Amino acid sequence: MAAQSKLAEIAFNCSCQEYIHPWTSSCACGTAGMLLSLIPATLRTYSVVYLFALLIRMRIPSLKDLRRTAAGILQSTAFLSLNGSLFVFAICMVRKLLGGFYFATAAWLPSLLVSSICLAVERPERRAPLTLYVANVGIESLWKMMESRGWVRSIPNGQVLIMGLSVTALMYLYRAGLHKTVVKDSTFKALGVIVGKEEEGPLKTPAVNTTQRPRLGRLNFLCITTHLKIYDLLLSYSHPSCPHSMGCAPYALLGGLKPFLGGVGLQVGIKLLLNITKIFQFKMQWRKQIFNKGSLQLGLALGIFSLLFKSTSCGLRHSFGHDKALFAIPAGLIGSIGLLHFPNTTVSLYLMLKSLQLLYNWGVSAEKVPEMPGLSLILYGFFTAVLCHATVLEPRSMRPSYYKFIQNISGGRLSRYNMKSFEAFGVNSQDQANHVIKKLGIVMKSPNPLFALAV
């Protein structure tokens, strides 16, 4: 007990210099050095992001487009640079106000105080996507932190369950035609590519099934004519309420084949793009990187989902005699079986957050849910605070790519933070940081970070 009390006293009395800027005694220099490191790094990052967005429009940009892109790059650079540098400033100020460090004030509270304010600097149309991104990474980190404490436990294919429920909700909105009115979003363009424009709502007036099904008469399977009749029936037979022009069987089969080929092509294309340097150096391991089962994962997931969704939808139309947007729910849940081939946590969380956002917008427009002003700012501030806490104090709970991104744009500062004084918090922050640094192969070639401004 006495040893624990001693550790708590050490953590409380830890100075901000010892913790966040050990290379300089000045808090102002620590903040300014972080700002100088962030500006060129974030400028490069956002230049790539905005120029890529300009290229995928597949048209020659006008002078207005170029001006808007340049302004967007500078504004986003200012936003992220301020966010990172003010985070350091807030840590120092909170410590001086409270007299020391507590578990929640070492990273979480300072980030919460500055993040929402800094988001106001960003372009309004960029705020919602940024909130979705940090919420995606933040929820994953929050879950890992709770899991490490034994508060929760992951279940097998839990991310597939989340993905399936989220896609089902999106498909209902798509079939109900709400994506054209109250929940407009680019996500539905991707859904339209996967399941086709035929399933797009709003639905036409439900057609009651008053026609009789075609009869084949007596079947003699030893006669080739019988097989031809069955073949013709499969190609042409559909319910009057079905939105497609061809028969239900070829509609479902082709609907599964197209997304399968597209998914395989997309996954292979991304792999080729990521290994473009190795290809030109003739060091590409084609069998290991391209010609393997992993290249089929996305294609199988999309193809089977589309096949099962369309088959189930047609089956329900045949059974009930009309079409209905609610049919998207059982069809989506059954189609989610195909998503077992692509158990991706990042995609699952993105779809979950996107579906919750659109359902919330729908609820607000229907006056079923009260509108919360500034919800994006609140969520961004909270989840950014979670990310900053996890990155600094519990880095094993952080997504490795995000940790490396922060390490790079901060000029190598993240790996130099000293958390040895925080052993009283019981999360072994320094050991976790050492583990992640070693795992990512981060090498500190000099004792000071970029723009140390040591005084």
Q: Specify the amino acid at residue 414.
A: L
Looking at the structure, tell me whether residues 141 and 42 fall in a common domain. yes
Phi, psi of 222, deg, nearest 5: -85, -10
Q: Are residues 134 and 283 in the same domain?
A: no
Q: Which of 174-183, 283-292, 426-435 has the lowest mean pLDDT?
A: 283-292
In a domain, 359, yes or no: no
- Please give the pLDDT value at position 276: 79
The closest alpha carbon to 335, from 300, 307, 354, belongs to 307
Among 291, 320, 342, the domain boundary falls at 342
Residues 274, 380, single domain; the answer is no
Alpha-carbon span 252 to 263, nearest angstrom: 17
Residue 419 belongs to domain spanning: 2-154+373-440
Q: Which residue has the higher pLDDT, 410 or 277?
A: 410
Whether 354 is covered by a domain: the verdict is no
DSSP character for 208? P
- HEC string of 153-186 equals CCCCCHHHHHHHHHHHHHHHHHHCCHHHCCCCCC
Higher pLDDT, 277 or 423: 423
pLDDT tens digits along 162-188: 999 999 999 999 999 999 888 888 889
Same domain flag for 257 and 387: no
220-268 pLDDT, tens digit per residue, is 555 665 545 555 656 667 788 888 888 888 899 999 999 999 999 888 8
Query: What is the full DSSP assignment across 85-142?
Result: HHHHHHHHHHHHHHSS--TTTTTHHHHHHHHHHHHTTS-HHHHHHHHHHHHHHHHHHH
State pTM to two decimals: 0.86
CA separation for the pair 287, 290 (Å, rounded): 6
Is the confidence at residue 352, as pLDDT, over 90? Answer: yes
DSSP state for residue 317 in the 8-state scheme: H
| Residue 249: closest CA among 315, 338, 326 | 315
**93 domain-assigned:** yes
- CB burial of 328-361 (b: ≥16 within 10 Å; e: otherwise) equals bbebbbbbbebbebbbbbebbbbbbbbbebbbeb
Residue that is last in its domain, among 323, 342, 361: 342
Check whether residue 280 and residue 397 sit in a common domain. Answer: no
Percent with pLDDT over 70 in the chain = 91
**Whether residue 336 sits in one domain with residue 195:** yes
189 and 133 in a common domain: no
How far apart (Å, rounded) are the C-alpha atoms in residues 178 and 191?
Answer: 14
Are 141 and 30 part of one and the same domain? Answer: yes
Q: What is the pLDDT of residue 216?
A: 52
In a domain, 104, yes or no: yes
Domain assignment present for 160: no
How far is Cα 67 from Cα 240, in angstroms, rounded to an integer? 52
The CA radius of gyration of the chain, in Å to the nearest whole number, is 27
In a domain, 347, yes or no: no
Over the chain, what is the mean pLDDT? 87
Indicate if 396 and 316 belong to the same structural domain.
Answer: no
Q: Look at residues 135, 140, 138 and name the one whose alpha carbon lies nearest to residue 158.
A: 140
Per-residue pLDDT for 116 more than 90? no
**pLDDT at residue 213 tops 60:** no
Q: What percent of the chain has pLDDT over 90?
A: 56
Is 166 domain-assigned? no
* Angle (CA) 266 270 271, round 5°: 120
Distance between CA atoms of residues 172 and 184, nearest Å: 14
Rounded mean pLDDT, 327-356: 94
Query: Does residue 367 lie in a domain region?
Result: no
- In this prediction, residues 9-21 reach a mean pLDDT of 88
Does residue 273 sit in the same domain as residue 391? no
Work out how many domains the chain is built from and give that number. Answer: 2
Q: Could you tell me if 147 and 264 lie in one domain?
A: no
Q: What is the DSSP letter of 22?
A: T
* Same domain (yes/no): 289, 185: yes
